[in-house]
């Protein structure tokens, strides 16, 4: 009888260890992302040959504790950076990198044209409207990963008059702002490049979001 019980006990112990191990792995995947929800993720379509694209979304923290986002990455691009458009008292706009973004408990933080956004550099392929791009947010002290599927499109989800937005986007691209240099520029130009910080017109943000035909 003992010879029959011992193997069974060993098997149960082994199963318990595997279960605990899997539980630990599950907790380590995204514990610091809390109850963060990523809504309406999208990537602005870019002209052929462009080596920078812009990504946007809304971060809603449905938990009781703040969530700190330390960065965004994508295997479909060489690198990704969080940026924000800032206009100084002289009306000069600049694109500044963001090391972290804090989403307070119960609040929402938007990444949109004219404000915070994610720059995606050096795509591994050309993308057309309707294509999917995987974005991975890094949260908390352990840089837990929160994957998100963003759709490539010409305009912000819910925006009207896609044809007009695409036309404005094309015009904004002609401004040729080299976003990667973070150079200052007049606020009026920044409005074209970032979709208009004043009116948040998503169609005018191509040079900020996907600029770089002439870096």
In this predicted model, what pLDDT tens digit does every residue of 81-130 receive, in sequence order? 999 999 899 989 899 999 999 999 999 999 999 899 999 999 999 999 99
- Predicted local distance difference test score (pLDDT) of residue 32: 86
114: left (phi over 0), alpha (psi -120 to 50) or beta: left
- Predicted local distance difference test score (pLDDT) of residue 81: 97
- Predicted local distance difference test score (pLDDT) of residue 60: 97
Instruction: Identify the segments of the chain with pLDDT beneath 50.
Output: 1-2, 5, 9-29, 161-215
- Predicted local distance difference test score (pLDDT) of residue 31: 75
Q: Where are the domains of the chain?
A: 2-31, 34-210
CATH class label, 34-210: mainly beta
- Predicted local distance difference test score (pLDDT) of residue 13: 46
- Predicted local distance difference test score (pLDDT) of residue 156: 85
- Predicted local distance difference test score (pLDDT) of residue 133: 98
Beta-sheet pairing, 144-153 with 36-44: parallel
d(CA 148, CA 53): 16
The whole-model pTM stands at: 0.64
d(CA 79, CA 69): 16
CB atoms within 10 A of CB 54: 27
- Predicted local distance difference test score (pLDDT) of residue 46: 94
CA neighbor of 118 nearest in space, from 94, 106, 101: 101
């Amino acid at each position: 009888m003992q010879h029959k019980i011992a193997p069974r006990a060993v098997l149960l112990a082994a199963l318990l260890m595997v279960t605990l191990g899997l539980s630990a792995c599950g907790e380590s995947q995204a514990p610091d992302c809390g109850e963060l929800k990523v809504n309406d993720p999208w990537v602005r379509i870019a002209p052929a040959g462009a080596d920078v694209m812009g990504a946007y979304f809304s971060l809603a923290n449905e938990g009781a504790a703040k969530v700190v986002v330390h960065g965004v990455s994508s295997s479909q691009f060489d690198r990704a950076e969080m940026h924000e458009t800032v206009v100084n008292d002289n009306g000069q706009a600049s694109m500044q990198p963001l090391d972290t973004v804090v989403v307070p408990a119960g609040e929402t933080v938007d990444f949109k044209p004219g404000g915070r956004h994610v720059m995606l550099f050096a795509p591994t392929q050309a993308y057309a409207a309707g294509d999917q791009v995987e974005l991975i947010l890094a949260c908390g002290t352990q840089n837990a990963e929160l994957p998100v599927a963003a759709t490539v499109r010409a305009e912000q989800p819910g925006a009207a008059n896609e044809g007009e937005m695409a036309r404005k986007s094309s015009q904004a691209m002609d401004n040729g702002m080299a976003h990667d240099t973070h150079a200052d520029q007049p606020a009026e130009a920044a409005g074209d490049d970032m979709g208009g910080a004043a009116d948040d017109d998503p169609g005018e943000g191509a040079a900020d979001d996907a600029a770089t035909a002439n870096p």
